[in-house]
Each structure stands twice: as C-alpha cells, then as structure tokens.
C-alpha cells in the first residue's frame, strides 16, 4: 500500500479528481483534507495560496497509473505528486486496498 499526497487549488478540483481516481479503481480511497495555507517559490517570486490536500491510498501496482492520471487532470503546471510508503498498516486494511484496486471498473 502506498499513499499519494497532492495539493489542489480548490475543493472542487480536489473532490472531482479524488472521486474520479476512486471510480477508475486507481485508488481504493481518497481523503480530501481541510484547506491549508501554502507558501512557495514559483517563477522566482514568493507566493501564498490556499490549497486543498488529498491523500490517495493505492496498491503499488496502480501507483504510476494514478500519478499519470492526477498529473493529466490537475490544473497546476507543475503539480506535486508525492508518494509515501507507510511503515506498517493492519493486514485487513492492506487486503481491502488491494482488493478494491483490482476490481473491475463500473
């Protein structure tokens, strides 16, 4: 199981992409978080923006397809798509993620 962390420019985009990724079985679930305030450098200027983080939970076999989907659907010119490998998780949860990402799409 891998977690894919991505920030979006607004809740509508975050929810649309999160739902689509789960519907396509690229992720077993996607947790849309509360907005955060981000500070970052972009085109040689210090920027500040409200962003909406999403954590996708997926199987290792789906991570590259999920990343490609997110990058293709994201409104940012350079979206940050960061993958984390949790140290551990309960076995039934891991099995659920694996099962849900293997089921045929509806």
Q: What is the 3-state secondary structure (H, E, C) of 81-96?
A: EEEECCCCCCHHHHHH
| Alpha carbon of residue 29 to chain centroid | 9
What is the reported pLDDT for 103?
A: 76
What is the reported pLDDT for 106?
A: 62
* Residue indicated by tokens 């799409």: 105
- pTM of the full predicted structure? 0.93
pLDDT tens-place values along the chain, 106 residues long: 999 999 999 999 999 999 999 999 999 999 999 999 999 999 999 999 999 999 999 999 999 999 999 999 999 999 999 999 999 999 999 999 999 998 777 6
Residues 47, 41 contacting (CB under 8 angstroms): yes
Domains, the chain, in order of start with CATH, read: 2-102 (3.30.70.120)
The span from the CA of 105 to the CA of 14, in Å, is 21
Q: What is the CA radius of gyration of the chain?
A: 14
């Amino acid at each position: 199981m891998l977690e894919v962390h991505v920030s979006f420019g607004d809740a509508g985009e975050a929810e649309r992409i999160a739902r689509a990724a789960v519907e396509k079985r690229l992720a077993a679930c996607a947790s849309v978080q509360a907005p955060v305030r981000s500070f970052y450098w972009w085109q040689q200027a210090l920027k500040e923006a409200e962003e909406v983080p999403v954590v996708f939970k997926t199987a290792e076999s789906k991570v590259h397809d999920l990343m490609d989907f997110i990058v293709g659907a994201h409104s940012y010119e350079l979206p940050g798509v960061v993958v984390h490998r949790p140290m551990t998780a309960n076995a039934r949860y891991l099995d659920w993620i694996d099962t849900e990402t293997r089921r045929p799409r509806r």
